[in-house]
Amino acid sequence: MFRQSIFKNQAGEGQLRGTEVRRIEAFSDAVFAFAVTLLIVSLEVPKNFDELIATIRGFFAFGISFALLMSIWYEQNLFFRRYGLDDIITIVLNCTLIFLVLFYVYPLKFLFTLLLDKQLFEGANTSPAIGVQNVPTLMEIYGAGFISIYFLFYLMYLHAKRKRHELNLISEELFDTRTRIYKCFVFMSVGAFSVILAWLLPPGMAGFSGFAYFLIGPGLTVLFSYRTKRKNKLFRR
């Protein structure tokens, strides 16, 4: 299966304990597939040029939303390949994760459709899809979902760290697990910063709080640069 093949060449980066796709992963794949279907299900065959342009705008929003969903799927897949956990705590955390993925599909597409149509800042020729006074709430809803998803990943990696003796994690693998925990903190901190900005900024400018997510790139660059140097020093690479 795709889950197995995507990491088959990473054995040199640590032991892959999840060599077989478990039922919880198969169920997760079905949920992610359904979430992608929900993103595009509203698209219809355009009947005129104006509808074609509107559909193309929808495809851009779909593309960004799809990429975000796949980044979550990738992180989840990485976790199961690395640790192969299927205990009750892991199942509960994973089920909560995919529940949030399903719940946030439409808010996610709604947000990026607004951003790409420039309705948040410039308005449109038709009636706006959202009032200016509601923009902070929209950004706070998105930020809360973003924080919640990576908080669940944080709990999953923390759970794997606590089961290090049962999993027989070597020192290098334990170091990498801590790095992934710190990675989740970066995502959650950026999400929290965006929510704070949405709350503090005037309603007409609250949409700019979304630019806070561009801090993820520099944040991860600093984190992985520091952790890589420390890892090389500790394990004498």
DSSP 145-197: HHHHHHHHHHHHHHHHHHTHHHHT--HHHHHHHHHHHHHHHHHHHHHHHHHHH
Distance from C-alpha of 153 to C-alpha of 39, rounded to nearest angstrom: 23
Q: Which tokens belong to 182?
A: 């710190």
Can you give the pTM of this predicted structure? 0.83
Expressed as residue numbers, the domain containing 168 is: 2-234
Name the more confident of 1 and 76. Answer: 76
Comparing C-alpha atoms, which of 200, 220, 209, 191 is closest to residue 100? 191
pLDDT by residue (tens digit) across 192-232? 999 999 999 998 888 889 899 999 999 999 999 999 999 99
Q: Is residue 12's pLDDT more than 50?
A: no
Can you state the angle between helices 23-40 and 88-103, rounded to 10 degrees?
0
Count of domains forming the chain: 1
| 3-class SS of residue 67 | helix
Distance from C-alpha of 190 to C-alpha of 147, rounded to nearest angstrom: 9
- Residue 86 is predicted with a pLDDT of 87
Q: Which long-range contacts (CB under 8 A, 24 or more apart) does 43-50 make?
A: none
pLDDT band at 132 (very low <50, low <70, confident <90, very high): confident
pLDDT by residue (tens digit) across 55-99? 776 777 788 888 999 999 999 999 998 998 989 999 999 999 999
Q: Is residue 54's pLDDT more than 70?
A: no
Contact at 8 Å (CB) between 76 and 97? yes
- Residue 198 is predicted with a pLDDT of 93
- Residue 92 is predicted with a pLDDT of 95
